Chain A
Amino acid sequence: MRALWGLAGIAAALICGVVAAAGIEEGDKRSGFDFMTRETQALQADDTSNPGMLWVLQGEQLWRQPEGRANVACAGCHGDAAQSMRGVAARHPAFDEATGRPIDLAGRVNSCRASRQQAEPLAPESDELLALTSYVAHQSRGMPVTPAADPRLAPFRDNGRRLFQSRIGQLDLSCATCHDANWGKRLGGGVIPQAHPNGYPLYRLEWQTVGSLQRRLRNCMIGVRAEPFAFGAPESIDLELYLMERSRGLPVETPAVRP
């Protein structure tokens, strides 16, 4: 009897292994853009109708505005964002020497504010933080996602993979259950996309505003009735790190539009 249970355990482990390994084939990798209706795609493609551009515009103004006790603007050190910030969003989250952890783009904006401008950090999901992050990420639009090759990021990325594959919440679902194993099928009224974070911060029609990847992750976690990560939690950065690796090669779309 004991041997039988052991056998069943091995079989279960094998099946789980197969499911976990069944990620997205390289040729099947598709941005969330491809899963949208033509109307929503048109909204994103035209800069004069893409509402996310309002935040990019605000970010451009904030970029040049002196802040904090140091009374220096982002442009004071970084100059023209079109050159200095090109490709930055494509390789974030990156390793932060000061904290010894990966840091995302919004975190980088706030750490720069604290250390260089000597200003108060911007609140998560505030218009100002989203605007600056959108403006910086917009400079990488069209460039392929190329995660930083820093070996110090590996353990955090592995933790992100573990979080992606861990079942959570009352519905007992993992990210992978939907976005690896069942993408392209329908959930309620919408198509399940592959969960690529290549357009953040993005304008979600449901939100009627621009939001960060962390907000989106929290939405999904509330959806499976789990306790969501707090804004800025290290777990969500780890997860973002893994998601960016997973979407390697897709073009940055910031500011994207999603339904």
Chain B
Amino acid sequence: MARALINVPKTARRGEIVEIRAMVAHSMETGYRMGPNGVNMPRDIIRRFVCAYDGEEVFAAELFPAMSANPFIAFTLVATTSGTISFAWTDDAGETQTASADITVS
């Protein structure tokens, strides 16, 4: 069950700069902590975040252990055409969480 909060404006004018916000639930375990039994807690962080606009990659970010749990990423896009904006977060375990939203450009 993907737990992600994404904020994409439903409509935009062609050429308008729109703000996109994406937050995903993830523990972002750094790998530097010890559990209650003194054993190292294995690292489990999101490595890569990708945003695609109508299938084309328009924004990507690499994440590192110093980032907080439930990382929040905001960026801007130029609205060019009506379509789907999709998001993917891939973590150390190789699991990918996805989410998407539609935008209508007039």
Contact = CB atoms under 8 A, between A and B. Distances in A.
Interface of A is mostly: helix
B21 A49 contact: yes
Contacts of A83: none
A209 B69 contact: yes
A54 B7 contact: no
Interface string A199-213: 000000000110000
Interface in B18-36: 21, 23-25, 27-28
Give the size category of A's interface with B. Answer: 10 to 19
A51 B70 contact: yes
B1 A51 contact: no
Contacts of A49: 21, 23, 72
A208 B72 CA distance: 13
Give the size category of B's interface with A. Answer: 10 to 19
A142 B30 CA distance: 36
B3 interface: yes
Nearest to A58: B3
A57 B2 CA distance: 10
A250 interface: no
A5 to B, nearest CB: 49
A46 to B, nearest CB: 9
B3 A57 contact: yes
28 contacts: A48-B5, A48-B7, A49-B21, A49-B23, A49-B72, A51-B23, A51-B70, A51-B72, A53-B5, A54-B3, A54-B4, A54-B5, A54-B23, A54-B24, A54-B70, A55-B25, A57-B3, A57-B5, A58-B1, A58-B3, A58-B25, A208-B27, A208-B68, A208-B69, A208-B70, A209-B27, A209-B69, A209-B70
